[in-house]
Every structure is written in C-alpha cells, then in structure tokens.
Amino acid sequence: MTATTPNPNTGTQARMPTWFVPHGAGPCFFMDWEPPQAWDRMARFLKGAAATLPRRPTAIVVVSAHWLRPTFDLTSGAQPELIFDYFGFPPHTYTLNYPAPGDPALAARIAALLEQAHLPAQTNPTGGFDHGMFIPLLLLFPDADIPVVQLSLQKNLDPRAHLAAGRALEPLRDEGVLIIGSGMSFHNMRGYGDPHFGPIADDFDQWLVQAVMAPPAQREAALGDWEQAPGARLCHPPGAEEHLLPLMVVAGAAGADPGAQVFSDRVMETRLSAFTFG
C-alpha cells in the first residue's frame, strides 16, 4: 500500500486510502496451523500496512463479510463487545481481546449518508464486532485505540448497491476515516486445499487485478458485473459471495482514485489478494 499525496481540498493532510484486506480463516493468525507457515506472509502484510498510511486515522469503518442484514446496519455502541463467530478452534482463541471504542456519532453520520443516497440504513447500539473486524485489526492496529464502526453488508448481495454504498461514504476519507473491506478474494470452502482450484483461483485473481486497476468507470462496471469473470462462481459460489462484497464498498469509496493489488499469496492451493485505492 502506498501513501497518497496531499489533497488540496483538505488542507495539509492527505485523504485516506481505502483497503480490501483478507482476514484469513477464523483466528488463523493466533494458533498453530498445518502447514505451519500457511498464514505467515499474510500476517506480515497486515502488520506492516498501517505504516503506509499518510497519517493516523481519526476513525476506522470496517465492512465485514460476516455481518449480513436486510439494510446497511452500523454498530453504534460506545464500546461494542466482541462476537466470537467461529467454531471448533482452540480455547485460547476465544479469549482474544480487542477493546477498541465505538463511535456513535460517526455511525449516525454514515447512516445519514447512506439514506441520502437512497440506501436503507440503521444504527445498532447493541451490535458487536465480529471476527471479520477484530482478527485483522489485531494485526493492523494492535493498540485498539482508534474508534471503529462496523458496517454490515446487505443480505441481497447486490454488487451495485455495495458500490453505491461506498460512493456515499467517500467524503469520510477527507476527514481521516479509513474504510476497510474485510473479506477474501477467494472463498469457496470446497476449493481450499484442492490443487484443481489453483488455476481457477489464479484466473479469477488476474481478472480482479485488471478490474481494480481499470479507470474508475470501467472498474465499477466490471465489479458490478463480477459474475462474468472467469471462474467467478467457482471462487464465490452462488449466494455465498459475501467475502467478495466488501471489495465493492471500498472500490465505490475510491471515487476517481486508482486501485492496485498490494498483496498476493497462494494459501491452501488458492490465490488470495489485497487491494488498495488512493
């Protein structure tokens, strides 16, 4: 991820980029895995990403693949609890702690921005932070001292609605808010560990890179029609594309800024990537 140049519309401060990051498999970064080094490169990438920012974020918005709601919902409590929404992992992974504060005022503002864009949204004062938020943020921002608001996906999984949601949130970037999409560029549970999926994942990943790097209008058109990509439905089965949709939000929030692939690795026979815009 590369730092942006100062934006003349925001004084001396540069606007924040937007990120799409892989969050791994459950609490994979905090436990033994077989093979042992499977997630090491991803962990190193996540640990180093904050150093590329133009400044410390004033707040963070995390779009998690693990929260689907009929509307765009937002955590709006002052101190949301963690939701350990993974199963069958070692006991110590259920004692992980990430006590980041919430930001009720920011949640209300985001809901208003979405409503102004004719996208139904609501705040949720009892909503918690799921592992799509706290697992990557434990590596990205381990001090847990930056306010965080988590944004849900819409259950309809409409890519164009999620691109539109991102467009509505773009002004936050000029206020120091970092928008992170937390998902996986490949997410077919049958495909992990199967060498037959390697070429399929590679082809889809190459298409994603080209789509992300395209000029903004072509980028949005391609991502809005992502099902036409090679191997799309083998990489993200029908009705299970929730791990790709956070990319649409951060791409929408990119505005006219360019996109780039900033991380790629083969994990469990499949290609996994991260992208930045701005």
pLDDT in tens, the chain (278 residues): 533 333 333 334 689 999 999 999 999 999 999 889 999 999 999 999 999 999 999 999 999 999 999 999 999 999 999 999 999 999 999 999 999 999 999 999 999 999 999 999 999 999 999 999 999 999 999 999 999 999 999 999 999 999 999 999 999 999 999 999 999 999 999 999 999 999 999 999 999 999 999 999 999 999 999 999 999 999 999 999 999 999 999 999 999 999 999 999 999 999 999 999 99
Distance between CA 80 and CA 101 in Å, rounded?
A: 7
- pLDDT, residue 14, reads 85
What is the pTM for the complete model shown? 0.94
Per-residue pLDDT, 10: 37
Burial 4-23 (b: 16+ CB within 10 A, else e): beebeeeeeebbbbbbbbbb
What pLDDT is recorded for position 82? Answer: 98
List, in order, residues 6 or more apart from 175 with CB less than 8 Å away: 58
- Amino acid code (one letter) for 142: P
66 CB contacts (<8 Å, ≥6 apart)?
85, 130, 131, 132, 242
Q: Which residue has the tokens 């070692």?
A: 90
Amino acid symbol at 111: A
Backbone dihedral angles phi then psi of residue 95, each to the nearest 5 degrees: -115, 10
Q: What's the chain's length in residues? A: 278
- Residue 225's pLDDT is 98
DSSP 51-104: GGSSS--SEEEEEEEEEEESSEEEE--SSPPB-----S--GGGGS--------H
The pLDDT value recorded for residue 91 is: 98
Query: Hey, what domains does the chain have and what are their CATH numbers?
Result: 8-277 (3.40.830.10)
**pLDDT attached to residue 162:** 98
Helix axes 104-116, 159-169, angle to 10 degrees: 120
Strand, coil or helix: what is 10? Answer: helix
